[in-house]
Amino acid sequence: MTWLVWRQHRNQAYIAAAFLAAFAVLLLVTGRQMASQYESARSACAAAHTCANLANTLILDSPVLSLLVTLTVVVPCLLGVFWGGPLVARELETGTSQFAWMQSITRTRWLTAEVGWALLAAAACGGAVSALVTWWSSPLNALNHQNFEPSQFDIQGIVPVGYALFAVALGIAAGTLIRRTLPAMAVTLVVFTFLRLVVGQDFRSHFLTARTLTFSFLHPQHHPLLPAGSYWLISAGLVGPAGQVASGPNSGGAGLNFDGIPISLGAMPATCRTLVFQASREFGSCMASRGYHGLISYQPAGRYWAFQGIETGVFVVLAAALIAVTAIVVRRRDA
Amino acid sequence: MMATSDPVVIETRGLSKRYRTVTALSDCTITVPEGRISALIGPNGAGKTTLLRLLAGLARPTSGEAAVLGSTPRQAPAFLADIGFLAQEIPLYRRFTAEDHIAVGAHLNPRWDGKSVRQRLESLGIPLDQTVGTLSGGQRAQVALALTLAKRPRLLLLDEPVAALDPLARRQFLAQLAEAVAAGGLTVVLSSHLLADLERTCDHLILLAAAHVQLCGDIDALLAEHQVLVGPRKDTTALERDHTLVQAVRTPRQTTLLIRRNGPVIDPAFQAEDVGLEELVLGYMGQQARPGPAGRTGPAGRTGPAAPTAGTAGSHLTSIGDDQ
């Protein structure tokens, strides 16, 4: 079966390998430049004691390259649409399944080989792209502490592997059920995009219970109580003197950026509000004397890999369920 | 005549297949002994393809059962190795060459005769290293047939295998088929509309119409059982009581009856004639038009080629005469 699978899909494999190789060369070259640039900037700022401000002064990546790296978020979707969708659907559509299924092998063995290699290739592709992006982004991660940002989280670590497995499994299942290539590809695109967005926006922040933290405004710079590293800020607000919580999540509108934490102006006492853009020390004592504290809920930086693992697990389980459905349908339904 | 003691290769009982609203095959009971080349005949939509797919295990029956080579058709290497099935659409990987297909077969079948495929295709002048998508329809059919034979199956199920072939290739292929069967251990069921070709090659007949089996048996025996009676216009009630009337064509002057005999015909008014395969087949197909009163009448197609009009099951291929 392996020979058949390879003969059927070798062109796709060559195309993917070519893209991957080009992408790898690009990222390896620019990634090394970025890393050395970051290192020299680090030693320079350490000598000048200005490292706290480094994130605001140092720009490592070019916009074009950043865009390209950000666009790797669509790689799993492409794999699902162009590898998964046609895998079974095209065989059913052109009738070649009748050729394959009348050789002296069970459909289960046929499906195991076709699906197994497809999933393996998808995981390898997703993993390779993600490994390159993760390595390439490491100076940026160290600099910007934005690992939990969807634009970073979704293209680094192990989640792209889970996405790729799920996308390809979705394509295979859709093709098996719909039995036509183009509709299967369309369904894969829509369902995958929808699920990714729903999980990313609505479920991810609830994977683990967020921690909360109140802090005083007295120490504007480098508050020792604030979480360290690339933590994920879920919401920020104020606790008033009577314990009431003012202001909602970190929505837009005018606000104060307190050490990276947005505090909306509307919730502050009016007298302190006028001090916001003046001396920060006065603002801090104004808030403290009126009994106002900052309140945030957040996921600590140390949970990054737990979140990566949970999200990957969710998509791998979904992929497994889809493959199980596919196997049942292929075995039971008429060719 | 065939020996009646040949082991049975195909035996079905009450085999039925329903798709959502359509009954593709209903209560199909047939027997095909070993070593036959069986012609599966019927108008379009009669259920030929469905029957072949059920026998190959590609589809599951809604009810009834089938025994093929002693076991229920199933997805098992041991069963599939014995079955050569070729679908009407001639499914091949369009981007594969013939040589690629030979390699696939070698990987996936226990006894594979790739050499025979190469020999066959080379003798036909069909390139082995060209993707089959670029071959002509007839050449593709030849490739697919050669691949089906290379499995060395014990039962060949061929759905319209010669439809795409030119007359000479058709005759050659059928001759080769007959040769392979004569060598022993092979049974063939092939569907076709080309009665003339089948008559030359086949020794067994399965006639389907409107999802039902009309006839099943060795052709010689079937022909011997049937007779055409030509006589004056007269009451035939007595005849119909003794024999099974298949088809009657009545004109003001003459009555022509196709009957299945139960014993000798003793009516001096009628002249008995032997029946040919085509006459027999068309007679049974015409009979099927009966349920609809609006069946096309007239002597159309009585001796013409069996080129059925595209239409629904039991289409009025040859609905002849007033058949009350």
**In chain B, which among 196-255 make CB contacts under 8 A with chain A?**
none
**Best residue in A1, A11, A103, A181 for a mutation probing chain B (most B CBs within 10 Å):** A103
- Pick the range with the lowest mean pLDDT from A239-253, B114-128, B240-254: A239-253
C-alpha distances in Å from residue A256, one per residue of A19, A252, A275, A276, B271: 44, 11, 11, 7, 112
Categorize the per-residue pLDDT at B305 as very low, low, confident or very high, splitting at 50, 70 and 90. very low
The answer on pLDDT for B210 being more than 90 is no
Q: Is B110 on the interface with A (CB under 8 A)?
A: yes
Q: Is B20 on the interface with A (CB under 8 A)?
A: no
Compute the average pLDDT of residues B88-110. 94
Size of interface A-B (CB pairs under 8 A): 70
CB burial of B82-103 (b: ≥16 within 10 Å; e: otherwise) equals bbbbbbbebbbbeebbbbbbbb
Contact A102 B100 (CB under 8 A): no
Q: Is A212 on the interface with B (CB under 8 A)?
A: no
**How much is the pLDDT for B306?**
37
Tell me the CA end-to-end span of chain A in Å, nearest whole number.
Answer: 19
pLDDT single digits (tens) A278-305: 666 777 788 888 888 888 888 998 999 9
**How much is the pLDDT for B184?**
81
Of A94, A104, A332, the CB nearest to B77: A104
Q: Is B64 on the interface with A (CB under 8 A)?
A: no
Cα–Cα distance for residue pair B195/B175, rounded to 1 Å: 15
Signed CA dihedral, A135, A140, A261, A71: sign only: negative
Residue B278 Rama label (left phi>0; alpha psi -120 to 50; beta): alpha
pLDDT single digits (tens) A1-18: 899 999 999 999 999 999
How far does Cα A223 stand from its chain's mean position?
Answer: 29
Q: What is the least distance, in Å, from the CA of B63 to any CA of chain A?
A: 14
The answer on pLDDT for A319 being more than 90 is yes
Q: B256 near B213, Cβ under 8 Å?
A: no
Is B8-220 CATH 1.10.3470.10?
no
pLDDT top residue among B254 and A258 = B254
Q: What is the least distance, in Å, from the CA of A80 to any CA of chain B?
A: 22
Compute the average pLDDT of residues A221-233. 74
What integer best gives the mean pLDDT of chain A?
88
**How much is the pLDDT for A249?**
43
Contact A105 B108 (CB under 8 A): yes
Q: B130 near B139, Cβ under 8 Å?
A: no
Tell me the CA end-to-end span of chain B in Å, nearest whole number.
Answer: 36
Task: Give the whole-number percent of chain B exceeding pLDDT 70.
Answer: 87
Compute the average pLDDT of residues B194-211. 88
pLDDT single digits (tens) B24-71: 999 999 999 999 999 999 888 889 999 999 999 999 999 999 999 999
The answer on pLDDT for A258 being more than 80 is no
Q: What is the least distance, in Å, from the CA of A165 to any CA of chain B?
A: 26
Q: What is the least distance, in Å, from the CA of B261 to any CA of chain A?
A: 41
Cα–Cα distance for residue pair A175/A171, rounded to 1 Å: 6
Q: What is the least distance, in Å, from the CA of B248 to any CA of chain A?
A: 41
Compute the average pLDDT of residues B287-316. 37
**How much is the pLDDT for A78?**
96
